[in-house]
Amino acid sequence: MQEGFEDSVRTRMGVKKSELTDTDIRDKFIAELAETVTIKRVPEYGKIVDEKDLMFLESAVNYYICYLLAPTMPNKIKYKVSTIEVKWEKLKTDWEKRAEEFLALYEEALSQIESVNVLTVQSEIFHIAKMTRGGE
């Protein structure tokens, strides 16, 4: 990961550093997992020299980090603050929906890599995961 990737993650998620710290982003089961999952999808990532493909690869990792972090965000963000001097309320974000969007952006970034092979996943798995008992 490039230095400063944490700021890129926060920007994509639309949150402040006080809401999502560098430590949260760099967590082994967030940043390292995102990198590992991406490496498994792009086994020849070390052979990429094309600047655009490197950008797409890095973007993919950042989007996967966002995907992993999104479900944790409701516990990190204050939506309402009320004191004697200050009172404000933020609009709530549907973080589950955002997670799905980040996963789609991850797949889109990977699909843009042209200089090496990118392994595809079977989309049926995603459909099965979303099935409900009512659909049986």
Residue 1, exposed/middle/buried by CB under 10 A (0-12, 13-18, 19+)?
middle
Which pTM value belongs to this model?
0.81
pLDDT band of 3, cuts 50, 70, 90? confident
CA distance 83 to 77: 17
Does the pLDDT value for residue 91 go beyond 90? no
Q: What does DSSP assign to residue 74?
A: G
CA distance 41 to 35: 10
- Using DSSP's 3-state secondary structure scheme, residue 89 falls into strand
Does the pLDDT value for residue 41 go beyond 70? yes
pLDDT in tens, 53-85: 999 999 999 999 999 999 999 888 765 556 667
Residue with tokens 């920007």: 11
